[in-house]
Structure formats: C-alpha cells, structure tokens
Amino acid sequence: MPSATFHFPKGFLWGTATASHQVEGRNTNNNWYKWEQEGHTTHKSGNASDWWGGRWKEDFDRAAETSQNAHRLSVEWSRIQPAPDRWDEDALERYRSMLRGLRDRGITPMVTLHHFTDPLWLGVLGGWETQAVVPLFEKYARKVVGALKEYCTLWCTINEPNVYALEGYLRGNFPPGKSDLKLSLVVQSNMARAHAAAYRLIHELQPESRVGYALHFRPQESFRPWFPLDRLMRNIKFEAINMAFPSAISTGIMRSPVGRIQVPEVKGTQDFMGLNYYSVDTVAFDLRIPQELFSHSFFPEGSDLADAGMNSNTPEGFFWAIKWAVRTYPALPIIITENGIEDITDRIRPRYLAEHVHAMWRAVNFNWPVKGYFHWSLVDNFEWERGWTQRFGLWAIDIETQKRTRRPSADLYAAICKENGLSSAMVEKYCPEVFEKLFPG
C-alpha cells in the first residue's frame, strides 16, 4: 500500500468559517429574524449556536486544539448600528473580545462585514434596491474597521452577493421574497458599489490590509451536451449565477443574461479572490420553470449525495472552480472562503473533505496561488430558510442543550491542519473507501 503526504506551502491558512446570524443567537433586529417570525423558515434561529451568550470561547478553544490557524467570522450590522443614528459600542467591544480571543489562541481572523443580514431600518429605506445603501454601508464599514483593525488585517466585504440577490430577488427564498431578475441585477450592482467603497476606505484606514469578497461559485454542466437548448440553458445559468459580480470587478461592467450595468468605480477593487464552493449542477432545458431561467438543475443518478440532497461530493468541480478563478483573476491570490457538506451522521464528510483537499493540492501544484482554506463549518449552525435541517459542523450541536459532540471529520481536519497536508495514513484511517482514488498503485 503506497505511503505519501500531499503537503501545502508554509504559511497556508487552515480554518473554519461561520456567520453571525447563524451562530450568535438572539439576533432580533434584522431582516432574517423578521423573515423567521413570518413563517418563511423551517425553524427559528433562537439561540443558534449561542455565541452571543459566550460559547464562542469554547468553540474557539476547539478550533485551536485541532490545529486551526485561521477563522472566518462575520459581524452583525443590526447589532453594531441598531438605528440609523445610533452605534452600539458594547456590541463592538463584544466583537473586539472575539477577535482578541482568536489572536490569543494563535488564530488569524478574517472578518466579513455583510453575510446576508440587514438591519430592519435599512429595509425601510429601500435596502439594496437603491444606491442610497452605498454611503450607509461605507459608514458602517468605517465604524467596524476603525474598531477592529487592531486585531484584523484580512477583510471580506460581502459574502455571496450573487446568492443574496438570486435567492432574495428571483427565487424568493430569502427576504424580501421577490421575483424580479432585473431587480436582482440592480441589487448586485449596488452591492458591488458598496464593496468598492468599503475596499477603498479599509485601505485608507489600514494600508496593509487585504480586502476581497466571497463569491458562491457553482459550476454548471449540460445534461445532454449534444442538445443545443441544454447547452444554452447551461450557459445562461452559468452567467446568471457566477459571472455578474466578477465581471463588474474585472471590467467595471456588470453583465448578465438580462442586461449590463456600468459600474466603472468598482473595477480592480479586490486583493484576493474569495471562493465558496460546494458542488456542481447538471442543467437541462425545462419550459415549466421560468423562475429557474427555464431550466432544471439536478445531480446525475449515482451521485455521492449529502443528507438533504442539496450538494454532492464532486471534487472535480472544486478543481475546475479554482482553475476558473485563476483564469478570471490571474494576478490575485485565492482563498477558499467556504467548502463543506451537510452530513448529520458524518457519513460522507470525511471523504468529501479528503477529496476536496486533494483537489486543492493539485491546484497548488500547478503553482496556482491558493493561500488558504476555510471549511464550512466549525459547529452546526442555523442554515437560513432550511433551519436546522442541514448540519455542516465538524462539531454537532444539540440545539436544546447546546452540547457539542465531536464528529470524526473533526479529527481528520485536525490531522490535516497539523500536518499542513493530507497523508495516506489519514485517508486510510478516516475514509479508506477513497484510498485507491487518492493514492493509486
């Protein structure tokens, strides 16, 4: 049996990612809390993972004890600015304590300024549908960065603007629950403007900072490559989901299947490419689904599916996603800001993790500039409209008692982080079913 280790470069970031509303609990002043109370979600967030109650301390201990050297978290706009004319200094001090806690444990923080949630007052003012949001977000970013810059130099302005716009303004699964493709593009263009404004002010306040955004990248494949309408729908869906925001940052023109918006001020405003990857979609033409751009997305028969069937274990797509990022932004380093799979029994996660780390190692060995990897997620958390039905954590949470239970994949990830690589011994121990695939011969 072959014995080998796939090592990563010195200084590689190994961490996990979380988001404020999903882990903090008792967030009652934002659009998602209101959305939950209106009955749009499977469950209510409640205490979530109880980080606002102080359990971040024990979870950061878990991260440190398993050799993680980085953590990506978000701050909650509605806590920091509960009203347009008021700042909550106690909330900012709470976040300062969290970042100090990471630093004290030898963990490098990445702070995300916006991860899907908006203050209720912002919605009253029109939210992201109007350019008036841009100076408001800039003001918020200035306050946050001024307060936290002592502990953080790695910033993510906006998480998955494409998902925020598509789910909130086309599919209706996120607040405000609208279905207007052109409006979703307007929302993304305003997010791009806000990102650019925040990018510039962060460098003004902290010249040494590194600033980017996190894109949800979902590769698309044609169900029947020989069928022109499948290929057409695949191409349309790829552009709609993946390309609007990157095209704006690359060229100053946000493009989509329904038009283009000129945003010259956003061109070139990123220091790294933040890439969120989970799985690949197969796309077929379907006239019956206009809200999905007349297409049907699914996983082929025999796919290695997660519990809820929303993601599959497709590491080849991860490699392809990194390749796309390199080609789109050839001069920029890449940070994997999210990657993971929902799996309450930890049946699929070990092989998913091993195969995706191996795909990333292949990319690194092409001298592609991948600098870090944040697994989603450290602990189980509230998964938006799907509530607690999806469990992504390396640690399981009993939401009634808040008891944490370590899953086997936590030990695999700890071994990877400690070794700064993936070894044949790890694969043999935690996911022997993929040993021959990763270590042939």
Tens of pLDDT, residue by residue over 384-401, are 999 999 999 999 999 999
Name the burial class of residue 115, with classes exposed (0-12), middle (13-18) and buried (19+) by CB atoms within 10 angstroms of its CB. Answer: buried
160-197 pLDDT per residue, tens: 999 999 999 999 999 999 999 899 999 999 999 999 99
Q: How far apart are CA 133 and CA 144, in angstroms?
A: 16
Domain ranges of the chain: 12-395
* Kind and range of the H or E run holding 253: strand 253-256
Q: Is residue 292 pLDDT above 80, yes or no?
A: no
For tokens 């003001």, the residue is 139
Question: Does residue 314 register a pLDDT over 90?
Answer: yes
Helix, coil or strand: residue 381: coil
- Residue 240 pLDDT > 80: yes
- Give me the mean pLDDT over the 248-256 stretch: 96
For 97-156, the pLDDT digits (tens) are 999 999 999 999 999 999 999 999 999 999 999 999 999 999 999 999 999 999 999 999
CA dihedral 321, 322, 324, 325 (to 10 degrees): 120
Q: What CATH number does domain 12-395 carry, 3.20.20.80, 3.90.120.10, 3.40.50.300, 2.60.40.10?
A: 3.20.20.80
Between residues 219 and 292, the one the model is more confident about: 219
Q: Which of 203, 215, 174 is CA-nearest to residue 337?
A: 215
Reply yes or no on whether the pLDDT at 301 is more than 80. yes
Return the sign of the alpha-carbon dihedral for residues 86, 91, 97, 101: negative
Chain center to CA of 82: 25
Look up the pTM and report it. Answer: 0.98
In the prediction, which pLDDT does 309 show? Answer: 82
Q: Is 263 within 8 Å of 252 (Cβ atoms)?
A: yes
